[in-house]
Structure 1
């Protein structure tokens, strides 16, 4: 706990990430997928807010009933189109979204289901098997999602430096 406090003293933006890690490890397969995907979706929204011009218009794009960028898919697409995530991050987040949808909409789903195994094996940011160490699909998913989450936790700080601004156009 003291180590966590020391980290938070110098890096307060990591609080949600440090709270997330033990929860991820306590969860069932389904729970781990759902909280990881939710965390990524929330972080994508923060990244978008950091880039867009502050105000009600940006808020309406991202939140509320029928918000154009209110879905996980829309946030992923917007971040990719604006260059706010890398191509590999985009591919991994799309895989995580597909895994989330499979777990959310199918009763009998686990990390042993071939469809999920196939998805997780394609994650760029996941731990890979080496020597005698075999990283299964749950390990691939959790390490891949955790890596993306850590990247996106830091991203708003950098995106803020390139945020768009209002301009006066000649025509």
Structure 2
């Protein structure tokens, strides 16, 4: 899989994010968190490059600055400190980092249930959970074995949340109006809530 060679500008947004979402779902229960943060990290670097192009300083100095931010945490903090992402996005990225660290540094038997509380604190977890319920009902109706679930609920919720975050981080580079994007997310929340009621 070539998810790390993803070209932010070279592929239509819906196609690109669908591909990334599917890639995340194909990962192991532990691997999904590692790959997700690697994707987010690379998108933060691209966001920094994009936004820093607007600054009136030497290109070499800008690249040196980005290289000095050699960790997910530092890139996330710089994106927020420089005003490229709001506090709620920073907090979401921080929670994703915490989830990743708790899974990556756990050498014992691991289960998604161990981190359910953290996953359910992600900003769109309730909406993504309702979407999973709707899709799961449809899948069970069409399946020969209705007891079998193709993707775990928690992995689905996490992958959807990360895909949303990837979309948000790349929106400026794609020329997407973030206010309209936030409005569309609110509309999706209402539609999903109506369908799941």
- TM-score (normalised: structure 1): 0.71
- Deviation readout 1:95-151 (Å, 9 max, x if unpaired): 1111111122112333111xx212111111333444993984323211111110112
Secondary structure, counterpart of 1:138 in structure 2: helix
Q: Aligned pair in 2 of structure 1 residues 38, 16: CA closer, same or farther (>3 Å)? A: farther
Partner Cα separation in structure 2 for residue 97 and residue 46 of structure 1: 18
Q: Is the 8 A contact 1:92 1:125 kept in 2?
A: no
Give the superposition deviation at 1:78: 0.9
Alignment partner of 1:154 is 2:171: yes
TM-score (norm 2): 0.63
In structure 2, relative to structure 1, the CA distance for the partners of 1:91 and 1:56 (3 Å cut) is same
Give 1:32's aligned residue.
32
CA distance in 2, matches of 1:129, 1:136: 7
Deviation at 1:58, TM superposition (A): 1.4
Q: Which runs of 5+ in 2 are unaligned?
A: 1-6, 135-151, 177-197
Contact 1:92–1:123 under 8 Å retained in 2: yes
Closer, same or farther: CA 125–131 of 1 in aligned 2, 3 Å? closer
> Are positions 1:141 and 2:142 aligned together?
no
Q: Where does residue 167 of structure 1 map in the other structure?
A: none
The superposition leaves residues 32-80 of structure 1 with CA deviations (integer Å, 9 ceiling, x where unpaired) of 11111111111011111111146111111222xxx2x111001111111
Task: Give the secondary structure class of the aligned counterpart of 2:25.
Answer: helix
User: C-alpha separation between the residues in 1 aligned to 2:98 and 2:166?
Assistant: 17
Answer yes or no: is the 8 Å Cα contact 1:125–1:148 preserved in 2: no
* Aligned-residue RMSD, C-alpha: 3.0
Runs of 5+ unmatched residues, structure 1: 1-7, 160-171
Greater share of residues in helix: 2
The question of 1:118 aligning with 2:117 is answered yes
Segment of structure 1 superposing worse, 125-134 or 100-109: 125-134
Residues 133, 83 of structure 1: CA spacing in aligned structure 2 closer, same or farther, 3 A cutoff? Answer: same
Aligned residue runs from structure 1 range 75-90, under 5 A: 75-90=75-90
